[in-house]
Amino acid sequence: MTHAKNRPSIVPVGTLPELGVVPEKMHAFVIRPERFGEPTKSFQHEEMPVWELGPDEVLVQVMAAGVNYNGIWAGLGKPVNILKGHGLDFHIAGSDAAGVVWQVGSAVRGWKVGDEVVLHCNHLIEPGASEDQTIWGYETPDGSFAQFTRVQAQQLLPKAPELTWEAAASYGLTYYTAHRMLIDRAELQPGEDVLIWGAGGGLGVFAVQLCKVAGARAIAVVSSDEKAELAMELGAHGVINRKDFPKLQYKDGMSADETKAHQADIKAFGKRIWELLGERKGPDVVFEHVGRATFPASVFLANKFGRIVICGATTGFDLTFDVRHLWMRQKRIIGSHFADADSAGRANRLVLQGKVHPVLTRMFTWDEIPHAHQLMYENKLHGTVSCLVGAPKPGLKNLEETRAAIAAG
């Protein structure tokens, strides 16, 4: 790797060095073990050396970075201390970004300095040789809450030109996961019906859009009128507010009466689905990530031969359900985890074609990066959110506009 001879020591946040010129240091939000804790404690600003590149790697000038729960887990140091995994004594979080290729490794083909990109976070342990993957910005230390991030070339995807940096940075992790679940793993077919838990959340807003693109009907489950409106705007066929069915949630240690009420609410919920679909059938696919609280309902509600596709368990991973509903009606449970480069690439094409749209619900500035994570930690955000990094203001879509905005002050 060679760096330009006239490399500056560091440039202020919200400004850019010359294209392809890499400063010695960069501004970053850095997590260290001695300050593990809530995000406002764990995310601290530091000046760090800019990453050196290996042959397959690319240095990206981050314009905006998406916020997701990975950074919170990393900062908490729980349930695992992820620094032990990568072996460094610091960690820069961030598994979503939009930016500009600033430098490429010697073996990189197909990408060049100046390309405007988004990133997927599936990081291969040995590119080209291994199926083992880690999550960039969580299991690797070089994430996007810094002026520069280091990624493998296979993580790059073209940025949709009409999207702002902040919108382009917001969707990768959740959208590619939802696409993988519905399209690749559940093999969603036109004409099918899908029950989507958390339809106003990070995964859900994309699951709803994907159903529309695939010619399927989405029944969106939400807990507020605001999210119900959003789900309908995104193309849901119908919406159910789960607060109308308070006993549907599975809870530990339910009495016989509570179990009866729980089962009655699941059946009533199923009837609401029939009403919305206009026929007495359950969903062909259930989009699961809530876990313990909803899984018994998901297994019961799925149609005969239905699929329950699951990628997470927000309310607990130790699942309890009546397996008779599974075998008697020949349903399937399908696991899914993020996406690979091929799957993320196919998903991103739908964004490039304008068929799937980011749902940016809030944007934060560089200084607010710890606060944005804190709000997510306190469950005070919905949809997807991102933070400006290199972009000096919102609304900018490419390097030319960004340079002009910096020049204009």
Ligand X SMILES: NC(=O)c1ccc[n+]([C@@H]2O[C@H](COP(=O)([O-])OP(=O)(O)OC[C@H]3O[C@@H](n4cnc5c(N)ncnc54)[C@H](OP(=O)(O)O)[C@@H]3O)[C@@H](O)[C@H]2O)c1
| Sites of contact with ligand X (CB under 6 A) | 69, 173-174, 177, 197-198, 200-204, 221-223, 227, 242, 249, 289-290, 293-294, 311-312, 314-315, 337-338, 382
Nearer to ligand X, 27 or 180 (CB): 180
Nearer to ligand X, 165 or 171 (CB): 171
d(CA 353, CA 333): 32
Which residue intervals of 133-224 are DSSP H helices?
165-168, 172-179, 204-214
Helix (H, G, I), strand (E, B) or coil at 298: helix
For 319-385, the DSSP string reads ----THHHHHTT-EEEE--S--HHHHHHHHHHHHTTSS---EEEEE-GGGHHHHHHHHHTT---SEE
Nearer to ligand X, 152 or 174 (CB): 174
Least separation in angstroms between residue 254's CB and ligand X is 15
Any residues with CB less than 8 A from the CB of 188 and at least 6 apart, and which? Answer: 182, 194, 210, 211, 214, 216, 285
d(CA 161, CA 90): 34
Q: For residue 243, how many other CB atoms are within 10 A of its CB?
A: 10
Least separation in angstroms between residue 115's CB and ligand X is 26
Nearer to ligand X, 198 or 282 (CB): 198
d(CA 119, CA 175): 12
Structure tokens of 388? 């400006």
Structure tokens of 43? 């995310």
Kindly calculate the radius of gyration of the chain based on its CA atoms and give it in whole angstroms.
22
Nearer to ligand X, 50 or 344 (CB): 344
Determine the length of the chain.
409
Structure tokens of 301? 């509600």
Q: How far is CA 190 from the centre of its chain?
A: 25
Q: For residue 38, how many other CB atoms are within 10 A of its CB?
A: 15
Least separation in angstroms between residue 334's CB and ligand X is 12
Least separation in angstroms between residue 242's CB and ligand X is 5
Nearer to ligand X, 100 or 310 (CB): 310
Amino acid present at 88: L
Does residue 175 contact residue 206 with C-beta atoms inside 8 Å? Answer: yes
Dihedrals phi, psi of 371, to nearest 5 degrees: -60, -40
Nearer to ligand X, 117 or 222 (CB): 222
Nearer to ligand X, 64 or 221 (CB): 221
Which residue has the CB atom at the shortest distance from ligand X? 201
Least separation in angstroms between residue 117's CB and ligand X is 21
Least separation in angstroms between residue 50's CB and ligand X is 29
Closest by CA to 42, choosing from 401, 374, 379, is: 374
Least separation in angstroms between residue 26's CB and ligand X is 27
Nearer to ligand X, 103 or 174 (CB): 174
Least separation in angstroms between residue 227's CB and ligand X is 5
Nearer to ligand X, 315 or 365 (CB): 315
Does residue 71 contact residue 94 with C-beta atoms inside 8 Å? Answer: yes
Least separation in angstroms between residue 379's CB and ligand X is 7
